[in-house]
Chain A
Amino acid sequence: DAGVTQSPTHLIKTRGQQVTLRCSPKSGHDTVSWYQQALGQGPQFIFQYYEEEERQRGNFPDRFSGHQFPNYSSELNVNALLLGDSALYLCASSPGSYNSPLHFGNGTRLTVT
């Protein structure tokens, strides 16, 4: 049973560019959340998707957007990249109940130069 898979593993972009990160949830999970983890910090909630809709959003600017597909996979898009966007981006899936433990992928390490 595959867990949460994310691609790519690493990415290097230039300031001002746009990036798309991808996530496939664990089998049986219909809810996908995205987190940003800066070096030495805890993960920060970006947003959550359920039934192809953004259900909740954290304190991130509109440059961060997402999408969920009918097969529950998800994308995170970041426009106009800033140096401060360099971080580990983690995708997590869950079966829907707000208190269910999240299952995380290995993350995408984004470096903005």
Chain B
Amino acid sequence: AQKVTQAQTEISVVEKEDVTLDCVYETRDTTYYLFWYKQPPSGELVFLIRRNSFDEQNEISGRYSWNFQKSTSSFNFTITASQVVDSAVYFCALISSGSARQLTFGSGTQLTVLP
């Protein structure tokens, strides 16, 4: 069985602050992929990043960065200099070779960026 935990239900920050969203995962498989998705009020889930279990290199994309640590089974997401448009629900998700086609999502973190 696999599991994704996002302990932060809601986070509120003021614009330009940095914010980190936590994600902890569980899987027995050695080959797996981790994802982050953003869900704005419109409902559509927007893909942000995919990381495989063999690549622990951190990644930066503009104001977004991701820290993958296998030792702690964490895949955290940081937004630097947050903006109001970043307000959304963010989901961390996991798929493994053993789970075949089933992408398992965390419960999400509601991020509100105040002007």
Contacts and interface: CB of A to CB of B under 8 A. Distances in A.
Interface of A: 31, 33, 40-45, 48, 55-56, 58, 88, 90, 92, 98-99, 101-107, 109
A101 B46 CA distance: 10
- Size class of B's contact patch? 20 to 34
Contacts of B107: 40-42
A105 B44 contact: yes
Most A CB contacts (10 A, CB to CB) among B45, B47, B50, B93 go to B45
Contacts of B95: 98-99
B38 to A, nearest CB: 11
A104 B35 CA distance: 14
Given A41-B108, A99-B33, A58 B102 contact: yes
Contact of A56 (B33, B93, B101): B101
16 contacts: A31-B101, A40-B107, A40-B108, A41-B107, A42-B93, A43-B91, A45-B101, A45-B103, A48-B101, A98-B95, A98-B101, A99-B52, A99-B95, A101-B35, A102-B47, A106-B44
A106 B47 CA distance: 13
B50 A43 contact: no
B61 interface: no
A102 B44 contact: no
Given A42-B108, A106-B44, A99 B50 contact: yes
Nearest to A100: B50
B85 interface: no
Given A41-B108, A92-B45, A107-B43, 7 more contacts: A42-B107, A45-B104, A55-B101, A56-B101, A58-B102, A90-B45, A98-B97
Nearest to A99: B33
A98 B35 CA distance: 13
B105 A106 contact: no
A101 B47 contact: yes
